[in-house]
């Protein structure tokens, strides 16, 4: 029986070892993250004074402490739950008059940077707080030790005079350039003072009640998680929101897409936002300010749970989109992708090589795709069609405002199109023979156009396009339609490569849906039109998304157009940088019955949502 028991024990151990050996391989594919750091105020926007207020019904009171290198919060002290408003200030002279704070005398009380330190050693916040209370003082945590301090004087002389008057005994002290005061909003009384030098910054974690839902107001928006206040190089307060990744995604989805958009579109947005955020945790983009992502379109728009405006806040649907996709990312092979997205593409996204000069071998899923879906909800998209015009003088002045073409004027524009129909290079030629060439990342800002998907019309001179035998015709939103028949022959194509010369000499693109033909016998007839397909209300089994074909080369192989003189009119569609997912396209695909996974995998070819 003993041998049999030993044999069974060995079998059990072997089985347990086998399980242990199997588990890591499964875990290896599971992304793990520590909390994400979101910059709320930094750089030129850093604050001398920063307020917090508990969101009524979502926690009360505050804890003071610091975040360690792994972003774990270490509590040093706390308020009671009656303190619902806090103000953090740099440890310099600040005046408070009611709700107004100023770095110069505004007629209110001064929160000075000189204090009287009372002798004594204290092991924790509670002990120090008990000693400070009868003196009307406050607790300070200075480089790892608790102290009791009294007063907040504007000058060292005032603090010395208080000691000489016998008000309190002690030593006059201040803080380093990294010190931060915590006060109750509207009061000059310091509640807590923190100075961890350059290595540790004040952390504030709202709520002392154990509430299951904790949200805190900061500058008009409600945020989950905690806050860090850092004086980088001794400057104003850099304010960073620290929270878990899923809570962060809940604070992105309602503002990158409206909170009334379809659930499946919001889920696709959640996948993109989560994948983007994962790739930007601890990147170098904002390392100067010690956080991962900002709150603007430079990263992703983030406003937490939002404001009090119902249309600009998280709601049950946006939260559901995040919860039902929790932990899911867009993968290309064994890596989580950089899931870029923008409002709309106008007919096709573009290769990352042409937009930002990045290698397609590094971002194979950002190759650009023809988008047949977005146009189906053009009526809902303000940028489905747009026109921007400049006279030669206006365009010259605009370029000169950016430092180009000084002392001359514009003679012509030369546009190079990709195979997908987007402008990937724009060259300005001036009358003095000079020129400037712009890539997509500059075209939108310098020429004031919403996207790089546009054609040009000139007031006087015809646009010409030259295509080599190996090149593809310019792709526009109408490219998918059939050719324009002429006298029963193959006819003209609808790709936009046809032009009309009016009696006054004006050249414009041929509008196939509003044009007429005169035959050799003199018969006049309207060109046949092609109506867009109707969108089925509830498709039962949608077709698989069209799989894109994209060029293997990184070099432009599209068409070139040149326009000169007169009025320069940019006629285009779409809004954004033209990479990755179209948000309006996602909405359109949902209307056609596609799921969030199909949407993401269409816009990022070769990826898988899992």
Instruction: Read off the pLDDT of residues 443-495 as tens digits, 9 standing for 90 and up.
Output: 999 999 999 999 987 544 333 333 332 222 223 333 333 333 333 344 444 33
Please determine, for residue 224, whether its predicted confidence score (pLDDT) is greater than 60. yes
Mean pLDDT of 146-171: 94
CA–CA dist 410, 428 (Å, integer)? 7
pLDDT at res. 33: 72
CA–CA dist 72, 228 (Å, integer)? 12
Percent of the chain with pLDDT over 70: 78
Spatial neighbors of 246 by CB under 8 A, at least 6 apart, are 322, 323, 326, 327
Which tokens go with 591? 């209307």
Better pLDDT: 522 or 306: 306
Whole-structure pTM value:
0.79
Mean pLDDT of 137-149: 96
pLDDT at res. 131: 96
Better pLDDT: 11 or 166: 166
Q: What is the mean pLDDT of the chain?
A: 84
pLDDT band at 562 (very low <50, low <70, confident <90, very high): confident
Three-state DSSP class for residue 132: helix
Q: What is the 3-state secondary structure (H, E, C) of 277-309?
A: HHHHCCCCCCHHHCCCECCCCCCCCCCCCECCC
The pLDDT tens digits for 246-301 are: 999 999 999 999 999 999 999 999 999 999 999 999 788 899 999 999 999 999 99
Hey, what's the torsion of the CAs at 410, 423, 455, 528, to 10 degrees?
160
pLDDT at res. 25: 37
Mean pLDDT of 347-372: 95
Mean pLDDT of 86-115: 96
CA–CA dist 548, 607 (Å, integer)? 13
Angle made by CA atoms 440, 445, 446, in degrees to the nearest 5: 90
pLDDT band at 564 (very low <50, low <70, confident <90, very high): confident
pLDDT at res. 603: 98
Is the Cβ–Cβ distance between 550 and 370 less than 8 Å? no
pLDDT band at 509 (very low <50, low <70, confident <90, very high): very low
pLDDT band at 417 (very low <50, low <70, confident <90, very high): very high
pLDDT band at 48 (very low <50, low <70, confident <90, very high): very high
């Amino acid at each position: 029986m003993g041998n049999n028991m030993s044999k069974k024990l060995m079998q059990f151990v072997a089985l347990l070892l086998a399980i242990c050996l199997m588990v890591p391989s499964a875990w290896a594919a599971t992304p793990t993250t520590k909390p994400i750091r979101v910059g709320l105020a930094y750089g030129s926007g850093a604050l001398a004074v920063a307020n917090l207020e508990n969101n009524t019904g979502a926690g009360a009171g505050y804890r003071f402490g610091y975040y360690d290198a792994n972003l774990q919060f270490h509590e040093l002290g706390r308020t009671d739950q009656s303190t619902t408003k806090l103000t953090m200030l740099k440890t310099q002279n600040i005046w408070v008059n009611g709700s107004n704070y100023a770095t110069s005398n505004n007629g209110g009380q001064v929160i000075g940077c000189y204090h009287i330190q009372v002798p004594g050693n204290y092991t924790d916040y509670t002990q120090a707080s008990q000693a400070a209370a009868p003196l009307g003082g406050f607790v300070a945590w200075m480089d790892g030790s608790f102290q009791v301090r009294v007063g907040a004087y504007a000058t060292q002389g005032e603090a010395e005079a208080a000691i000489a008057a016998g008000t309190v005994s002690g030593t006059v002290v201040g803080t380093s350039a990294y010190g931060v005061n915590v006060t109750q909003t509207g009061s000059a009384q310091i509640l807590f003072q923190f100075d961890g030098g350059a290595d540790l910054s004040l952390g504030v974690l709202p709520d002392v009640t154990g509430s299951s839902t904790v949200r805190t107001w900061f500058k008009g928006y409600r945020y989950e998680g905690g806050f860090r206040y850092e004086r980088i190089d001794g400057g104003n307060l850099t304010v960073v929101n620290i929270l878990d990744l899923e809570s962060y995604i809940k604070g992105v989805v309602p503002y990158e897409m409206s909170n009334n958009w379809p659930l499946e579109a919001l889920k696709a947005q959640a996948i993109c936002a989560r994948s983007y955020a994962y790739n930007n945790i601890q990147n170098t983009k904002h390392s100067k300010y010690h956080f991962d992502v900002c709150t603007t379109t430079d990263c992703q728009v983030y406003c937490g749970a939002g404001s009090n405006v119902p249309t600009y806040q998280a709601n049950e649907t946006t939260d559901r989109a995040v919860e039902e996709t929790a932990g899911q990312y867009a993968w290309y092979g064994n890596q989580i992708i950089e899931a870029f997205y923008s409002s709309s593409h106008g007919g096709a996204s573009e290769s990352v090589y042409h937009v930002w000069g990045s290698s397609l071998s590094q971002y194979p899923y950002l190759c650009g795709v023809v988008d047949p879906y977005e146009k189906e909800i053009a009526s809902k998209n303000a940028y489905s069609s747009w026109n921007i015009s400049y006279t030669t003088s206006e365009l010259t002045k605009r370029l000169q405002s950016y430092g180009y073409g000084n002392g001359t004027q514009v003679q012509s524009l030369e546009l190079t199109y990709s195979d997908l129909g987007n402008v990937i290079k724009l060259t300005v030629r001036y009358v003095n023979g000079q020129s400037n060439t712009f890539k997509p990342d500059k075209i939108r800002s310098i020429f004031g156009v919403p996207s790089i998907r546009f054609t040009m019309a000139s007031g006087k001179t015809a646009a010409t396009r030259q295509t080599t035998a190996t090149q593809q015709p310019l792709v526009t939103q109408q490219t998918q339609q059939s050719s324009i028949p002429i006298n029963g022959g193959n006819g003209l194509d609808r790709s936009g490569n046809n032009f009309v010369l009016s009696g006054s000499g004006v050249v414009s693109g041929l509008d196939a849906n509003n044009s007429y033909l005169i035959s050799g016998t003199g018969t006049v007839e309207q060109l046949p039109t092609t109506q867009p397909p109707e969108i089925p209300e509830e498709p039962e089994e949608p077709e698989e998304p069209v799989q894109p074909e994209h060029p293997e080369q990184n070099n432009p192989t599209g068409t070139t157009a040149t326009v000169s003189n007169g009025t320069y009119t940019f006629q285009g569609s779409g809004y954004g940088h033209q990479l990755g997912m179209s948000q309006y396209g996602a909405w359109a695909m949902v209307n056609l019955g596609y799921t969030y996974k199909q949407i993401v995998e269409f816009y990022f070819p070769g990826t898988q949502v899992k």
